[in-house]
Amino acid sequence: MPAHDLVVVANRLPVDAHLREDGSVEWEPSPGGLVTAMESVMRNVDSGAWVGWAGSPGEAPDPFEADGMQLYPVMLSAEDVARYYEGFSNATLWPLYHDVIADPEFHRTWWDAYREVNERFAKAAAAVAAPGATVWVHDYQLQLVPSLLRDARPDLRIGFFDHIPFPPFELFAQLPKRNQVLRGLLGADLIGFQRERDALNFLTSVRQLLGYTHHQHEITVPGIGSAPARVVTAKAFPISIDSHAVGEMAEDPEIQEAARTLRHELGDPRKVVVGVDRLDYTKGIRHRLKAWGELLNDGAIDPDEVLMVQVATPSRERVDAYRQLRDEVELTVGRINGDFASIGRPAISYLHRSLDRRAMTALYQAADVVLVTALRDGMNLVAKEYVASRPDELGVLVLSEFAGAADELRAAILVNPHDIDELKTAILRALAMPEEEQRAAMQSLRRQVLDNDVQGWAHAFLGELESAGRAQDVPT
Ligand code: ADP
Ligand code: F6P
């Protein structure tokens, strides 16, 4: 088995296997912000490895190479998908960590599967990591991997990054098996969060539930048996995008032409307002549509002049809350179009699919306004992608205060999406904003996104992990 100095462990590989009708396998980019970010980090690493699931139940494909990276698929059975992925990860942890926007469900069989699958991922990572290697574990699906890995391979330097919010103590305390989850994470040398608030929530839970002390961001984890006490650092590292790659694509004349063609195909409306999200209840799509429907109803927006485009990537389609969301969103879009569209001209153009990166960049360039109305979001990379796609310095970002990106993108129009009146006012303000004002805001947003890219984020995390890994032995 080859040995790698840097191993990324995430629920998903950067590519998903799709079975074609003739039985052959087609590889497509996996959905979500984690892959967008980590894929561009790993492209610049020599002989890195990525351990993850290939996206379908059943036998895992053999390890293979893609983009100079070695990919090690981990097998999930249909039952693992139902209990570990759709169950504990996406029907227990996901809603609990996102402010219980949907009701979290808990079943002991789901927890058992979560533990077993985490063991499988830890074993797979331990098998491909070189002596003294760095292993970087990602996200809420794999919170037990750090401690399992430490038990199996005490020589490793282990980092963990949480891409989603870490909930306030009062919510986290509801999680059955909460102490096991905390102990799982504390197997890492460094635990990264999107926002300072997430790190503080985690530190509070560790203090309240395990009784461990911390000095600022450093937690002392007492030694057990012959194992020495350790220091674990928990702090914020706000993730970003490959701003320069997106920027370069945005300067491509073919993409700029594609953006003009797109506007033309949309009927040359005076304004185009765009939403792009995974179809997830945390993204506030229902609130956005409610505000849009009311604005049309009030006569504040003329559907012959202003068009909304909503692109929704299919996501977690077998989880109840996601099925329900899809039904509601599509019912609302249908109603709004029924009331306000004219023949050949919708009031909302809705797509339930993914677009490729070039088509996304063209869409961002065609957008006068982008609406990011998440009710809770770890970061939200769409907001940063929009800004990086606008070298013309035009366009307006309406951004929820509840997205991690709001901590950095202060020049956006910041909104509380729960307040539909406030959302409506923000949309109207965005639509009416003079170019000079757009430019001033966009310049400030672009400085933030271009100066803080995903390479800088990875460099900061791995740099800190290197020193965190050395400070292991502390007096008890
Ligand atoms: P999350 O990780 O919750 O999905 P983010 O906004 O952080 O949310 O990241 C979403 C990523 O997926 C971004 O890179 C965005 O460009 C991409 N994406 C979202 N919706 C689509 C879509 N319909 N087609 C293609 N890519 C999409
Ligand atoms: O952090 C966001 C995230 O949940 C990732 O962990 C995940 O890969 C992505 O969104 C997409 O979700 P899923 O893998 O469930 O399709």
Pairs from 14-19 (Cβ < 8 Å, separation ≥ 24): 14/38, 14/39, 14/42, 14/50, 14/52, 14/66, 14/67, 14/69, 14/71, 15/54, 15/66, 15/71, 16/54, 16/55, 16/56, 17/54, 17/55, 17/56, 17/61, 18/55, 18/56, 19/56
In which band, very low, low, confident or very high, does the pLDDT at 43 lie, cut at 50, 70 and 90? confident
pLDDT reported for residue 19: 77
In which band, very low, low, confident or very high, does the pLDDT at 280 lie, cut at 50, 70 and 90? very high
pLDDT digits (tens, 9 = 90+) for 358-385: 999 999 999 999 999 999 999 999 999 9
Smallest-distance ligand from the CA of 279: 1
Distance, CA 12 to ligand 1 centroid (Å)? 15
Q: 322-337 in b/e burial notation, b at 16+ Cβ within 10 A? A: beebbeebeebbeebb
In whole numbers, what is the pLDDT of the chain averaged over residues?
95
The closest residue, in CA terms, to atom 12 on ligand 1 is: 32
pLDDT at residue 472 greater than cutoff 80 = no
Smallest-distance ligand from the CA of 384: 1
Active site positions, annotated:
163, 377
Average pLDDT over residues 418-443: 98
pLDDT at residue 64 greater than cutoff 50 = yes
% of the chain with per-residue pLDDT over 90: 89
In which band, very low, low, confident or very high, does the pLDDT at 470 lie, cut at 50, 70 and 90? low
Average pLDDT over residues 145-159: 97
pLDDT at residue 23 greater than cutoff 80 = no
In which band, very low, low, confident or very high, does the pLDDT at 350 lie, cut at 50, 70 and 90? very high
Q: Please list every protein residue whose CB sits less than 6 Å from any atom of ligand 2.
A: 11-12, 31-34, 139, 163-164, 315-316, 378
Beta strand 4-12 pairing with 348-351? unpaired
385 lines ligand 1 (CB under 6 A): yes
The closest residue, in CA terms, to atom 10 on ligand 2 is: 32
pLDDT reported for residue 476: 44
Distance, CA 278 to ligand 1 centroid (Å)? 6
- Ligand 2 binding pocket mutation candidate from 9, 12, 278 (most atoms within 8 A of CB): 12
- Ligand 2 binding pocket mutation candidate from 53, 160, 163, 325 (most atoms within 8 A of CB): 163
Distance, CA 353 to ligand 2 centroid (Å)? 16
Lowest mean pLDDT among 57-71, 233-247, 436-450: 57-71
Distance, CA 192 to ligand 1 centroid (Å)? 21
Smallest-distance ligand from the CA of 138: 2
Distance, CA 138 to ligand 1 centroid (Å)? 17
pLDDT digits (tens, 9 = 90+) for 302-334: 999 999 999 999 999 999 999 999 999 999 999
In which band, very low, low, confident or very high, does the pLDDT at 338 lie, cut at 50, 70 and 90? very high
pLDDT digits (tens, 9 = 90+) for 181-223: 999 999 999 999 999 999 999 999 999 999 999 999 999 999 8
- Ligand 1 binding pocket mutation candidate from 274, 276, 315, 371 (most atoms within 8 A of CB): 276
Quick one: which of 174, 344, 108, 212 has its CA closest to 185? 212
pLDDT digits (tens, 9 = 90+) for 87-138: 999 999 999 999 999 999 999 999 999 999 999 999 999 999 999 999 999 9
Report the alpha-carbon distance of residue 386 to residue 389 in Å, rounded.
5
Average pLDDT over residues 233-253: 97
pLDDT at residue 474 greater than cutoff 60 = no
Average pLDDT over residues 419-447: 98
